[in-house]
Amino acid sequence: MSAPATNNGSAWAPPSTARTRLVLVRHGVTDYSIDKRFAGRSDLPLTADGQEQARRAARRVLALGPVDAIVSSPLRRTRQTAELIAERAQRPVTICDGVIETDFGAWDGLTFAQARQQSPELMSRWLADPSVAPPGGEAFDAVTSRVRGALEQLLDGHAGETVALVSHVTPIKVLVRLALDAPPTALHRMFLAPAAISVVDYYADGPVSLQSFNDTSHL
């Protein structure tokens, strides 16, 4: 089951195949998220509050229904979150490099204001053009390419199952954008809270349906 290229208006058509559900979970807070800093490949742990958020998210994920598989970005903050879901689901955690956070390069660890002060012209271009990368980092086009590849692998490997996918702001927003067949600018128009849950359903015959986005009711 490969990822559908577009939605094709198929939400109006009844699906004829079993659904594959991705329960998308952003990790809990870290020191960087509290300070609103770019947190790309920095391997940060959850704070105490982040661990509590992750515990609550784990309860919410299982309340939504049985989970067949748990997949996580390789970074520590996502693995810690995924492990709490795994304890409840009694399932192992599989690591997927394709859903790691964007590499923000020289901006990693900086606030938005600090990065703009450091690279004002580049920041404006980065916000306007998904092919532009931060200094020494990764463009959103590149992130989209690898996330799309990871999605295809997940849908092929877990057809008809429910997968809890623990990742970061950008990969989750990319998955939502692709589900909605929205333009790249949509990435800048979504807010995703720490430990928020979003749900997307996929069907082999085409339909894709965003069931929820940025659910924080458990927090």
Q: Which residues are catalytic?
A: 27, 101
DSSP letter, residue 40: S
Q: Which two tokens stand for residue 155?
A: 């849908």
Rounded to whole angstroms, the Cα distance separating 166 from 90 reads 16
Q: Which of 107, 111, 178 is nearest to 139 (CA)?
A: 107
Of 52, 62, 2, 63, which is closest to residue 27 (Cα–Cα)? 52
Burial of 29 (0-12, 13-18, 19+ CB in 10 A): buried
Strand ranges for the chain from DSSP E: 19-26, 69-72, 93-95, 162-167, 197-203, 208-215
Buried b (16+ CB within 10 A) or exposed e, 104-137: bbebbbbeeeebbeebeebbeebeeebebbbeeb
Report the alpha-carbon distance of residue 145 to residue 133 in Å, rounded: 14
